[in-house]
Amino acid sequence: MIRAEAIKFTVGDFCLGEVSLELARGEYFVLLGAPGSGKSLFLECLCGLNRIDSGRIVIAGRDVTNLEPCERGIGYVPQDYALFPHLSVAQNIGFGLRARRLSSAKISQKVGTAVDQLGIRHLLDRWPLGLSGGEKQRVALARALVVDPEILLLDEPVSALDEALRAEVCLELKRVQRETGTTTIHVCHNFEETRIVADRVGLLRAGRLVQVGTPGELFDRPADAEAARFLRVGNVLSGEAERCGKPLCGGDR
């Protein structure tokens, strides 16, 4: 569905990559990493908001590496949601549909479907500045989903919400993703969030993808000691593994 091949992007002293990743259609992938590990940069590269130095991005069989963001068929929810403050909730959600020159009736119908799916019909006439964090998140999600994107990119979508609301919203994200079947990449640094939504998880560290697997694989068998410490796996003990008296690979294993 989406294939990132050896993506490399440099900004200042920071170098992302080379990162390679392949997602199946309908998969919910979580990109986990500490703040500053390059997660948001990676999403921006997929969106086309950053021109990559090298590598290739293929979405739904189309090489989109050199295409503008508007031509990539993506839905993007940035941190803090970036709702347009000069537009009402209804206009925010229908914003992408206007770019596709749909009729007003079609826009109303699609916006109606999206708001019903996310339970925010009562917000349609409200304005972004008056919404709570959870409401903003749902509106931003509706705005991204209403254009039927090939892939949905969520940049820390629940980090602005309070602890009590996060799990609830994550469950809702997962439900909506299952209903729509949209391939999703969700960036975060929260393990609870990861366990709730992820089909697979990638661990990004200092711009490099160090491990990819199911949440179980990642939390049960971290790639190395540093990954184990980041994932807060208890009982990290130093030692050497050996078989028949011969060291396997040494180091912390």
Partner 1 sequence: MAVGKSPVRGWRSRLFAAGTCLFLGVFVGAALLLIAGDMLYVDKKAVMTVLTSGFIRRALWMSVWTSFTTTALALLFAIPMGYALSRYRFPGHLLADTIVDLPIVFPPLVAGLTLLVFFHQTTLGRWLGKVGLEFAFQPKGIVLCQFVVSASFAIRTVKSAFDDVDRRLENVALTLGYTQWGSFFRVSLPLVRGGIIAGGALTLARAFGTFAPLLIFVGSFRGRTEVLPTTIFLEQSVGNLEVALAVALLLIGVATVCLVIMRLVGGRPLVQQ
Binding site for partner 1 (CB under 8 A): 44, 47-49, 68-70, 72, 74-76, 78, 80, 82, 84-86, 95-96, 98-100, 127, 129-130, 143-144, 147
> Cβ closer to partner 1: 86 or 243?
86
Cα distance between residue 69 and residue 52, in whole Å: 13
CB-based contact 156:81 (threshold 8 Å): no
- Give the shortest CB-70-to-partner 1 separation in angstroms: 5
> Cβ closer to partner 1: 48 or 215?
48
| Cα–Cα nearest to 125, from 89, 160, 82 | 89
- Give the shortest CB-128-to-partner 1 separation in angstroms: 8
Phi and psi torsions of 187, nearest 5°:
-100, 130
> Cβ closer to partner 1: 69 or 119?
69
> Cβ closer to partner 1: 69 or 216?
69
Long-range contacts of 174-179, Cβ-Cβ distance < 8 Å, separation of 24 or more: 174/28, 176/117, 176/118, 176/141, 176/145, 177/28, 177/152, 179/117
- Give the shortest CB-5-to-partner 1 separation in angstroms: 21
- Give the shortest CB-104-to-partner 1 separation in angstroms: 16
* Three-state secondary structure call for residue 10: strand
> Cβ closer to partner 1: 153 or 204?
153
- Give the shortest CB-80-to-partner 1 separation in angstroms: 8
Q: How far is CA 131 from the centre of its chain?
A: 23
Adjacent-strand bridge partners of 151:
74, 183
